[in-house]
Amino acid sequence: MALPVRPGKVIAVHLSYVSRADQRGRRPAHPSYFLKPSSSVAASGGVVERPAGTELLAFEGEIALVIGTPARRVAIEQAWDHVGWVTAANDLGLYDLRANDRGSNLRSKGGDGFTPVGPGLLDARTVDPTGLRVRTWVNGALAQDDTTAGMLFSPAQLVADLSQHLTLETGDLILTGTPAGSSVVQPGDVVEVEVDVPGGPSTGRLVTTVVQGSVELDAALGSLPSTDDQQRSEAWGSRDAAGLGPSLAPELHEKLLRAPVAGLSAQLRRRGLDNVSIDGVRPLRPGARMVGVARTLRLVPNREDLVERHGGGYNAQKRAFDGLGSGEVLVIDARGETGAATLGDVLALRAHVRGAAGIVTDGGVRDADAVAEVGIPVFCAGAHPAVLGRRHVPWEADVTVACGGTTVQPGDVVVGDADGVVVLPAALAEEVVDAALAQEDEDAWIAQQVAAGHPVDGLFPMNAAWRARYDAWRAQR
């Protein structure tokens, strides 16, 4: 192992690169940290086991700082003097175990071999901490490439900040965060991480091979691995990379923005789909228009013991909002219960920052004026001042739900305007919107004839004679 001594502490940063923060849809104002056990440290050339029953082992190439002399309450100007060496690290994590360890990351990040470091050490006195580069390869293909110039918090700031709270001892490791590009690896994959000064010294490549574990976790001892689409999306880096389906194609999205909900509803009915409107919801902000791909959240009726177990902490509601991606619409199944809110301004802002296309709930909304000011389209059954727990328990996300009397599945296309909200099966969206826009052209022509004084009899709907006139008009366009 490259390290001079066994580290007493391994401290990792949650988010520190602009590219990664933007990918996750949040830029923290200050650094935050978690601890990894020193037993997770491994040398270059070793293997890391993906435990049996799991699927989401992700790599994170990072620049690791090795403390050379103890630091306690040091100023940022002197912080780098306490760094002895710089090396490469891979902050491996198992997203399947994040649900019950969110924030602490003990099980998800602390497994044996989950912190390989090395192979070489760079003398901190010979390098500029603002000019370091980290790169990661998976099976020879470059996956990550960034420099400390792209960090939200400099290496010196991390050392100084940590030293305010605890003594950094000789040999302690600080993992300074990972840039965008982290993703999932499979058994047999080879991950390489290198830290260098471009054109200058390098740590060499830290090599780790992923192998498949054979021992199942014991449910009698603790919680088992669990995954959902949010975890898959975050582990892989995006919904597309996770195979969860792409967002709407730009051309289809543009057509859906032009098509009225009433027209889409009519075309769906012609195809035998009459139960596709989310009834009882109205736009919170007049003139709102919404087009996106459905993500879902199911709320169940309030039961005091279930609220206690499922309502607090990082519950399904918060996970659903945190997991929203660009162009997605969160559809909330509140069973039509309007006696409590299903979201407020903070969660609306979270969805907006994530790039979501809208929110639909057949329940209530609190802080209604503030939610409307956020700017994201919100369709709801009304306003209510009470918090969610008065009537609801947040239960699960990304499952088939019932909202406003219709069934909504993740991946459905959701469109809303002043007339309400309609749900389109993704496979029919292109066909239905083309037909709706064609009907819009036809209706606009009919309106012109009515405005010119023609009676509606035979014109609306068109008989054969009017149809011939319309077809001739279209042919001349």
Please say if the pLDDT value at position 254 is more than 60: yes
Token pair, residue 431, equals: 């066909």
Token pair, residue 44, equals: 């270059």
* 98/195 same-domain check: yes
pLDDT for res 308:
76
pLDDT digits (tens, 9 = 90+) for 150-163: 999 999 999 999 99
Q: What is the CATH number of the domain that holds 288?
A: 3.50.30.40
* 64/90 same-domain check: yes
* 47/188 same-domain check: yes
State the Cα–Cα distance between residues 89 and 251, nearest whole angstrom.
42
pLDDT for res 220:
85
* 133/173 same-domain check: yes
Token pair, residue 225, equals: 């691995």
Please give the mean pLDDT across all residues of the chain.
91
State the Cα–Cα distance between residues 201 and 195, nearest whole angstrom.
9
231 within domain boundaries: yes
* 295/415 same-domain check: yes
Please say if the pLDDT value at position 246 is more than 60: no
447 within domain boundaries: no
Decide which of 224 and 30 is more confident. 30
Lowest mean pLDDT among 179-183, 332-336, 445-449: 445-449
* 129/204 same-domain check: yes
470 within domain boundaries: no
- Average pLDDT in the 19-26 region? 79
Confidence of residue 294 (pLDDT cuts 50, 70, 90): very high
* 228/335 same-domain check: no
Please say if the pLDDT value at position 311 is more than 80: no
77 within domain boundaries: yes
Please say if the pLDDT value at position 146 is more than 80: yes
Please say if the pLDDT value at position 1 is more than 70: no
Q: How many other C-beta atoms can be found within 10 angstroms of the C-beta atom of residue 106? A: 15
For residue 254, give Cα distances in angstroms to 374, 422, 430, 432, 434: 23, 17, 11, 14, 11
* 160/268 same-domain check: no
- Average pLDDT in the 184-213 region? 95
469 within domain boundaries: no
**CA-based torsion, 171, 174, 179, 183: positive or negative:** positive
pTM, 2 dp: 0.61
One DSSP character per residue, 279-347 reads TT-EESSTT--EEEEEEEEEEEE--HHHIIIIISSS-HHHHHHHT--TTEEEEEE-TT--SSBS--HHH
57 within domain boundaries: yes
* 57/156 same-domain check: yes
Lowest mean pLDDT among 86-100, 200-214, 251-265, 451-465: 451-465
Cross-strand pairs, 423:
414
Confidence of residue 5 (pLDDT cuts 50, 70, 90): confident
* 295/340 same-domain check: yes
175 within domain boundaries: yes
* 285/226 same-domain check: no
What's the domain range around 403?
250-430
- Average pLDDT in the 21-35 region? 85
Where among 236, 265, 287 does a domain terminate?
Answer: 236
pLDDT digits (tens, 9 = 90+) for 325-369: 889 999 999 999 999 999 999 999 999 988 899 999 999 999 999
Confidence of residue 78 (pLDDT cuts 50, 70, 90): very high
- Average pLDDT in the 293-317 region? 86
465 within domain boundaries: no
Please say if the pLDDT value at position 245 is more than 70: no
Helix H or strand E encompassing 267? helix 261-270
Parallel, antiparallel, or unpaired for β 358-361 and 328-333?
Answer: parallel
* 332/422 same-domain check: yes
Q: What is the CATH number of the domain that holds 176?
A: 3.90.850.10
Where among 388, 405, 430 does a domain terminate?
Answer: 430
Strands (DSSP E) along 51-172, which ranges? 57-58, 61-67, 83-90, 93-94, 115-117, 122-123, 133-138, 141-147
Where among 177, 205, 236 does a domain terminate?
Answer: 236
Token pair, residue 184, equals: 């999932």
Q: How many domains does the structure of the chain reveal?
A: 2
Helix H or strand E encompassing 258? helix 250-258
